[in-house]
Amino acid sequence: MATEMDMREAVRIARAMAEEAGYTDSTTSDVHYDEDDGVYEVELENDDTVIKVTIEDEFGKVIEFTTD
């Protein structure tokens, strides 16, 4: 069960990271919490680009940022 942050905070962090990378008009397409790994996985879309951000629950640290 997620304890340190909620999904809204995870999405806020993911969007901030996307904006820093130059993706300013991103929309959230998926967000979920992986209880086994203790991470939020957020998927954003920006035009034809899919942005995937994995955020550690305990400290809110981005541990992976990828684009397709």
pLDDT digits (tens, 9 = 90+) for 40-65: 999 999 999 999 999 998 888 999 99
Residues in the chain: 68
Give the span between the Cα atoms of 1 and 3, in whole angstroms.
6
Q: How many domains are contained in the chain? A: 1
Q: How far, rounded to the nearest angstrom, does the alpha carbon of residue 13 sit from its chain's CA centroid?
A: 6
Give the span between the Cα atoms of 15 and 25, in whole angstroms.
9
Residue 25 inside a domain? The answer is yes
Residue 2 inside a domain? The answer is no
Give the span between the Cα atoms of 1 and 63, in whole angstroms.
19
The whole-number pLDDT of residue 5 equals: 75
Domain CATH for 33? 3.10.450
Residues of the domain holding 21: 7-67
- Please tell me the pTM assigned to this model: 0.89
Residue 48 amino acid letter: D
Residue 48 inside a domain? The answer is yes
Residue 46 amino acid letter: N
Residue 1 inside a domain? The answer is no
Give the span between the Cα atoms of 17 and 65, in whole angstroms.
8
